[in-house]
Structure 1
């Protein structure tokens, strides 16, 4: 039997792995219910549209994930900044951890601001009806642009990290 006391002694990697597996299982379950259980139910006002039975569950699940991720991100940033400010110089193992923390935090906020300013607020047609709420159109575009940019940065970082071994072994051969 798994006890909370046992989990407290697990390494961070194992805990995060189990949380990831749990989130993947929940997402698969919610999306499977959405797509495979009463997906073809006709919409009461216009039978040409579908009104899947588990639409509300999917929306609530996504909203909970957004709120949870925003809350945990804010908590992690505040904890990190508070912990690093208490160390005086902000250096940890000769790494400027406080400076890196500030750059990531302000860089992310800056990306959000620039993406919001660049985003389009042009009206669009949704299900045959005009949608022209300028603010929400810009916010949705902002999140799309930010997501694409952060994913591109993450992919670039992974590729750069994966080539580290190749670059390191190449330097050894050149120096020898």
Structure 2
């Protein structure tokens, strides 16, 4: 909802007519705003509360809120990724296999399968050695592997993105020779 400056009336914003870049910028800035406010609240409200069972540790008041927000973001991202992948595969079913001499369907299938492959590979290669957290041993091998999978996949994707940017940056050097 926004206010029309000429008539000072409320008008509903129709996001369907926004350009993709404008919509993604809007979502990006909203998420950054929420994260900054949440980080400030986490640090400023009840951060120094002592842990009930061991007074050497802190038990910040808003830890549950931060963890819940991270889980919602992760789940939302995975859901959005799956919906986008399914929609893209449906749109590129038959008539849009090749768009402007670019194999669109093949690219979307390869990206989906490669992402799944990297997730499975990093899960299989992750360590399940126990960790000591707040003085207690954490031994749940599934969650240890799952956290290792997300860390490993994130690092791999960052390295792949850097490599893609470096390769793209050398485009002009390759064309001039």
Q: Which deviations, in whole Å up to 9, do the C-alpha atoms of 1:74-126 show, x marking residues without a partner? A: 10000001111142x71111111111111101101111111111111111211
What corresponds to 1:8 in structure 2?
16
Unaligned runs of 5+ in 1: 172-176
* 1:61 to partner: Cα distance: 1.0
Regions of 4+ moved over 4 Å: none
Matched residue of 1:43: which SS? Answer: coil
Following the alignment from structure 2 to structure 1, what is the Cα–Cα distance between the partners of residues 30 and 170? Answer: 31
Count residues with an aligned counterpart: 168
TM-score normalised by the chain length of structure 1: 0.89
Following the alignment from structure 2 to structure 1, what is the Cα–Cα distance between the partners of residues 61 and 98? Answer: 53
What corresponds to 2:134 in structure 1?
127
Q: Alignment partner for residue 84 of structure 1, among 73, 86, 92?
A: 92
CA RMSD of aligned residues (A): 1.5
What corresponds to 2:71 in structure 1?
63
Unaligned runs of 5+ in 2: 4-10
What corresponds to 2:42 in structure 1?
34
Relative to its length, the structure with more helix (as a share) is 1
Q: Which deviations, in whole Å up to 9, do the C-alpha atoms of 1:9-43 show, x marking residues without a partner? A: 22110110111011011111111111122210111
List aligned pairs for 1:110-121, cutoff 5 A: 110-121=117-128
Following the alignment from structure 1 to structure 2, what is the Cα–Cα distance between the partners of residues 163 and 21? Answer: 31
Assess, with a 3 A threshold, how the Cα gap between structure 1 residues 36 and 162 changes in structure 2: closer, same or farther: farther
TM-score normalised by the chain length of structure 2: 0.88
* 1:153 to partner: Cα distance: 0.3
Following the alignment from structure 2 to structure 1, what is the Cα–Cα distance between the partners of residues 130 and 97? Answer: 47
